[in-house]
Structure 1
C-alpha cells in the first residue's frame, strides 16, 4: 500500500462520482449558489493541460434572449442530425438531447485563440488542446456530481454559427454547450443506454496488449 493513498471513504467517494456521473437532460429550475458554481469552475481550471497551456475559456450565458438563440442553433442541428441518421431518424427525434431552456446555468466551453503559439506537446498532435479542454470539462462534471448537480454536454451545433453569435475572436473555437442544474433524480444508467439507443461495450473488447486487436491478458 502506498503512503499517498486516500482513505477508504475518500477513494469510495471518487469512484462513486465517476460511476454515477450522468449526461443529464432533465433539470429543475432552482438556481445554483454562486459559491458552488465558483467551486465547479475552479475544479475545471485545475485540469491538466498539454504544455500547461490552459486552453479552456468558459462563457457563462446570462441573457435569456441569447440562451434562446443558442437553443435554436441546437434545434437546427438536431433536425439535420436526424436526417443524417436515415432509418433511425424517428427514433432520434424522440430523444431529449439537451436542457438548455430548463437548466440553471448554461456555459459554452471553448478553446482560446492564438493556440498556434503553443507547440509544447502539440507539434505533432495539435488537437491536444481539445484533449486538455475535455479534461477540464470532465473535472467540472465530476465536481458537479459530487455537489449533487447534473450536467449535460451538448455538441449539436454548428461551431462557426455559435462562434459568431458569441462574438468570439479569430482562432478560438466553441467545443461544448454545458447545461448545469439541479435534478429531480439522476438516471440509473446513461440515458442513451436506458433508451436502448446504445449499450456500453465490454472493457475487455477495448483493451489490447502490445499490438492493435491483440487481446490483453488478465489484469
Structure 2
C-alpha cells in the first residue's frame, strides 16, 4: 500500500480549501490536451459496479454554445422570478455562470442504460448511476484546481433542452454543464459567501450519533 505522509495530507487539505466554483474566467485558452488529460484522470473515479457511466461532451461549436447561453438566460430569468423583495434584488446581482468567458465547455451525462458493470449495485439503488457521475465531476474539480484551472458547474439549465442542443442519445441523463478556464482571481472562500448570499456551516452541524 502506498503511504501518504503528513505533508501530503496537508497539501491535500489545501487543495480542498482552495477548490472553488469559478464564475469569472480569463479568456486565455487552455493548453492543448489539457481537457483530454483531465478526463483521463477523472475516469479513475469510483463508480457503482465499475460501470463508469459518465459520458463527456466537449462543446466546441459556437452555435451550440450560444444556444446553451440562451437557455441559461431564460432559466435564470425564471429563477429570479421565484424570489421577491431584497432577496430578488440580491439574486439579480450574482454572477452565476462563466459561459461567455470560459474557453472550455464540457457537458457531462450519465448513461442510464450502460451494460458495463452488469447492473451490480444498481438494482436496489439505480440512482447510484448518477451519483457515480457526480463523484467524477468532483474529482475533475480537484484535478483541475491542482493544475491551476478553474471549474464552474452551471445548473441553471433545462436538461431536456441541453440534450436537444447537444444531440445526445436519449438514454443519457444530463448531470452537469461545466465551464473550465483560468480564473480571474483565486480565493479560499466560496463566491456566494463573499457575496453574502449564504455562509458555509461547520461539519458539526451535519453530524449526529445514533
Distance in 1 between residues matched to 2:29 and 2:7, nearest whole Å: 30
Q: Distance between the aligned counterparts of 1:126 and 1:84, measured in 2?
A: 31
Secondary structure of 1:29's match? coil
* Residue from 63, 73, 76 that aligns with 2:74: 76
- The number of aligned residues is 208
- Matched with 1:201 is 201
- TM-align CA RMSD: 1.7
Q: How does 1:62-211 map to 2 (within 5 A)?
A: 62-87=60-85, 88-115=87-114, 119-210=119-210
TM-score (normalised: structure 2): 0.93
CA distance in 1, matches of 2:206, 2:35: 35
Identify which range, 70-79 or 107-116, moves more after superposition.
Answer: 107-116
Q: Which runs of 5+ in 2 are unaligned?
A: none
Instruction: Report how far residue 123 of structure 1 moved.
Output: 1.4
Distance in 2 separating the partners of 1:43 and 1:25: 23
Q: What CA distance in whole angstroms lies between the structure 2 residues aligned with 1:140 and 1:193?
A: 23
SS in 1 for 2:79: helix
Pick which of 176-185 and 5-14 moved more.
Answer: 5-14
Q: Deviation at 1:84? A: 1.5
Confirm whether residue 47 of structure 1 aligns to residue 45 of structure 2.
Answer: yes
TM-superposed CA distance for 1:106, in Å, is 0.3
Query: Counterpart of 1:100 in 2: which secondary structure?
Result: coil
Range that drifts further, 3-12 or 60-69: 3-12
Shift in Å, 1:113: 4.5
TM-score normalised according to structure 1 size: 0.89
Contact residue 17 and residue 188 of structure 2 kept, 8 A:
no
Q: Could you tell me which runs of 5 or more consecutive residues in structure 1 were left unpaired when the two chains were aligned.
A: 211-219
Distance 1:130-1:113 versus aligned 2 partners, 3 A rule? closer
Residue-by-residue CA offset, 1:159-207 (whole Å, 9 max, x unaligned) = 1111111111122111111000012221331000100101111211111
Q: Does the Cα contact within 8 Å between 2:159 and 2:174 map onto a contact in 1? A: yes
* Secondary structure at the counterpart of residue 94 of structure 2: coil
Equivalent residue of 2:33, what SS? helix
